[in-house]
Structure 1
Amino acid sequence: MAKPAFLRLRVLIASAAALALSACFGAPEVMKGGTGSKQAASSGPKRPQVSGAPSFNSPEAQQCAFDLKQAGVKFTPLPNQDHGGGCSSIDSVKLLDVGTPTSGLGAMTCPLARNFAAWARYAVKPAARQYLGTEVVRIETYGTYSCRNIYGGRSGRLSQHAYSNAVDVAGFVLADGRRIMLDGGWKGDRASQEFLRALHKSACRRFGTVLGPDYNAAHYNHFHFDMSGNGYCR
């Protein structure tokens, strides 16, 4: 009788270990639906699913995260996600502090976040002092990730926003209470024009693609920055 009891104890230990591992790594998606995948599919829009690959696993991504830390940028790494429809967030971060409060920032690929943080620190701040004689206390954006096609495009291609690889900058709030927005400021007073054009020029040295009000009507009120392309600047 002692041997069967010992075997039952080993089975119980093995089952407990399996449960502990599932708690660490997460249950398969089919187990999370509770009543089956058919009901989950019919309950509403498909929710983003975490991909099988861990984030920041490649040497390039790890170097990027290291660069952000070295620059003193506060951020949170985000899990890789497949949002469906070809849209995704891979090796992305949530920026928490780039030195200037910034609105609207969601998931950003690490290279985009790294370059945006550098642009905010080394372009926006000095330009505000030079052309406006004051400090920028807030950068306002229209956001980052959005699962959509290119605005006005005829090819039906996904925007870089669909890969968390783009950010749209709308304007700036100054310490003296002024707001310098692309909508109005791009063709506004001389100081506003010089300030915004200096930021556009600096961005062209940091991002793969930079689009502004002179590009087309869809960009009349913002700068679009993304890491695709090879220095396309309009």
Structure 2
Amino acid sequence: MRNWRRMIAAALIGLTLSGCFGGGDRAAPRPAPFPIRERPGGPVTLDLPPSAETQQCFTDLVRADVRYTPVPDRDYGSGCIVAGAVSLNDIGVPVTGLKEMRCPLARAFTAWVRHAVAPAAWQVLGSRLVRVETYGTYACRGVVGRGAQGAAKLSEHGRGNAVDVSAFVLADGRRITIETGWGSPDLQIRAFLQTIHKSACRRFQTVLSPDYNAAHYNHLHLDMGTGPFCR
């Protein structure tokens, strides 16, 4: 009789715990992904006066002999608003994949390519930098690689405030990619990428590399959002 009483008590405890913690088969509710609903008719142009920060940034680009075109402030919907942006036409080294980007990001990116990437290519790899390849800047989407919670948060790409850099092409024909170069057995290639990564961490608010998570296995994410955060 005592054994039966113990079995019944254990079953009741198990049912109680199952009620408290949701049971083994019931999944916890997940936040909804960031709603991507760009305006069907295209972005709305905003009639906003340029901020003092943007005007100073334009001046800095002119002084640095950067060719650029100002981009009208635009509201794409879903909170994706790109303001104080430019289109980079010529920074001295060809760059692929760029769309509009906020001027402070353009300024930091230009300085990084000119004063960190190009010198490191020559000093570490012994060849001149001839092209930088990117996966782009603006994209109205949530943060990737951080599960549902990340997907519910607007990425800095949705503000034109981030750029994803994927590869570097040298004058000797080599193409150094983040995907294959980050863990390359070639110590020079790894030293080059670690050098420019370290420099990026001093110029951008957030820098994410393949060391951060699997979503960044093939690029360096550089943005001027909140930070500093470097990984």
Q: What's the TM-score bracket when you normalise by the shorter of the two chains?
A: 0.7 to 0.9
Aligned to 2:119: 126
Aligned to 2:27: none
* Structure 1 runs (4+) greater than 3 angstroms displaced: none
Aligned to 2:217: 220
Aligned to 2:5: none
> What RMSD over aligned residues (CA atoms) do the two structures have, in Å?
1.0
- Asked whether the 8 Å contact 2:178–2:218 carries over to 1, the reply is yes
State how many pairs are aligned: 189
Aligned-partner SS, 1:84:
coil
Aligned to 2:28: none
Matches of 2:64 and 2:141, distance apart in 1? 32
Aligned to 2:205, which of 205, 208, 219? 208
Aligned-partner SS, 2:141:
coil
Matches of 2:96 and 2:56, distance apart in 1? 26
Matches of 2:80 and 2:227, distance apart in 1? 22
Kindly state the Cα deviation for residue 168 of structure 1 after the two structures are TM-superposed. 0.2
Aligned to 1:51, which of 43, 46, 52? 46
1:160-194 deviation per Cα after TM superposition (whole angstroms, max 9, x unaligned): 00000000000101101110000110011111100
Aligned to 1:81: 74
Matches of 2:94 and 2:124, distance apart in 1? 20
1:145 aligns with 2:142: no
Kindly state the Cα deviation for residue 45 of structure 1 after the two structures are TM-superposed. 2.2
Kindly state the Cα deviation for residue 231 of structure 1 after the two structures are TM-superposed. 1.8
Unaligned residue ranges in structure 1 (runs of 5+): 1-43
Structure number with higher relative contact order (C-alpha < 8 Å, ≥ 6 residues apart): 2
Kindly state the Cα deviation for residue 66 of structure 1 after the two structures are TM-superposed. 0.2
Matches of 2:116 and 2:193, distance apart in 1? 10
1:186 aligns with 2:182: yes
Matches of 2:215 and 2:102, distance apart in 1? 23
1:33-81 deviation per Cα after TM superposition (whole angstroms, max 9, x unaligned): xxxxxxxxxxx92311101314xx2211100100010011110000000
> Which moves more between the two structures, 57-66 or 203-212?
57-66
Matches of 1:74 and 1:124, distance apart in 2? 19
- Asked whether the 8 Å contact 2:145–2:214 carries over to 1, the reply is no
* TM value normalised by structure 1: 0.79
Matches of 1:217 and 1:112, distance apart in 2? 24
Aligned-partner SS, 2:54:
helix
Aligned to 2:156: 160
Matches of 1:152 and 1:117, distance apart in 2? 27
